[in-house]
Structure 1
């Protein structure tokens, strides 16, 4: 690959592939450069350090979930309770599919997430911000009751932690997990009724 065609996005794609192959402990910038057919200096022109590259690839991975959920948050005309349930289920499904469809990459990102606290904090703020918008719109429509939509959103997010925090990924394969999710979502929606 010519360095003229080398973009940050292409580097991030290659980094994901290298992480999938070697894992976070063994993956190097040299491996990424080799896969791209460029020198490691070319990669460093886009990402000044290995930590910056790992942080960027983690942010990119988390952003995919944020974008999908934003479509539900801002693009759906559904009533508040329906939108909130759909959003929670989409978050759960997104995390569950990431864990089940590509377990090696999911395990890798679980390690990288521990290293990228600022990226994770931004991700969590985005997700709770989306929940806040859903709850706030529901309050304004008379579908929800919450004195502080941001506080209610944080509570909903915390109450559903088991269905989106990667630490709980092994539980997501249990045959009862969908019924457990439904029970928690039902309870939360009842609690938000006016």
Structure 2
């Protein structure tokens, strides 16, 4: 098969190739020239899609962070489900996705940890999207009389921060320790009890 030309080049194909280059060379050594070589095009062709190396790295980091966003968005948007169940399922899906990334491809996970540290704006937007999904669930619980919080957005941010051990990559080494699932459930039980509307005795 002939190598792809710049006419057939797409941003998605560049991002796929960039991920493979990062896996092989790591973030310190991977270059735009390496990406272009993997695609069989000139580095100028890559720059027509991504103006700078930083922009390319930002895009590939966003792509990596967004891989589980749709699954979580589907849970958040499932209005047929009880809000409490949705909160639990949303965090369980987030924890499972993070564990899969860390354990399924540890080299690439380590590479992305370096990139994430350099992409504050991308990471901030990702966290805002996730807490926005959580806000949607909490607000639905308030509307249904299930949760008793004054400000769903503040409550969502607090939930996200309180569960950091189960999705912040800085804790990745703890995710495979014995008993971590039980610890996750205990934290979720405590947090969900805090959200619930009080009933009169």
TM range (shorter): over 0.9
- The CA distance in 2 between the partners of 1:163 and 1:117, in whole Å, is 20
Partner of 1:125: 128
Secondary structure, in 3 states, of the residue corresponding to 2:146?
Answer: coil
**Cα RMSD, aligned residues only:** 0.7
User: In the alignment, is residue 154 of structure 1 matched against residue 157 of structure 2?
Assistant: yes
Q: Please say if residues 18 and 27 of structure 1, whose CA atoms lie closer than 8 Å, have aligned partners that are also in contact.
A: yes
- The CA distance in 1 between the partners of 2:54 and 2:6, in whole Å, is 21
Q: 1:6-85 counterparts in 2 under 5 A?
A: 6-75=9-78, 77-85=80-88
Partner of 1:99: 102
Deviations 1:62-118 (A, max 9, x none): 111211210111135210000000000000001110000011111111100000000
Q: TM-score, normalised by structure 2?
A: 0.95
| The structure with more helix, counted as a fraction of residues | 1
Q: TM-score, normalised by structure 1?
A: 0.98
- The CA distance in 2 between the partners of 1:75 and 1:9, in whole Å, is 29
Partner of 2:172: 169
Secondary structure, in 3 states, of the residue corresponding to 1:5?
Answer: coil
- The CA distance in 2 between the partners of 1:75 and 1:55, in whole Å, is 31
Moved over 4 A (4+): none
Q: Please say if residues 14 and 35 of structure 1, whose CA atoms lie closer than 8 Å, have aligned partners that are also in contact.
A: yes
Deviations 1:35-77 (A, max 9, x none): 1000011001100100000000001111112112101111352
Structure 1 residue 143: deviation in Å? 1.1
Secondary structure, in 3 states, of the residue corresponding to 2:77?
Answer: helix
Q: 1:137-152 counterparts in 2 under 5 A?
A: 137-152=140-155
Structure 1 runs not aligned, ≥5 long: none
Structure whose alpha-carbon radius of gyration is higher: 2
Structure 1 residue 193: deviation in Å? 0.7
- The CA distance in 2 between the partners of 1:150 and 1:34, in whole Å, is 46
Aligned residues: 194
Structure 2 runs not aligned, ≥5 long: none
- The CA distance in 1 between the partners of 2:75 and 2:169, in whole Å, is 22
Deviations 1:3-31 (A, max 9, x none): 11100000000000100111101111111
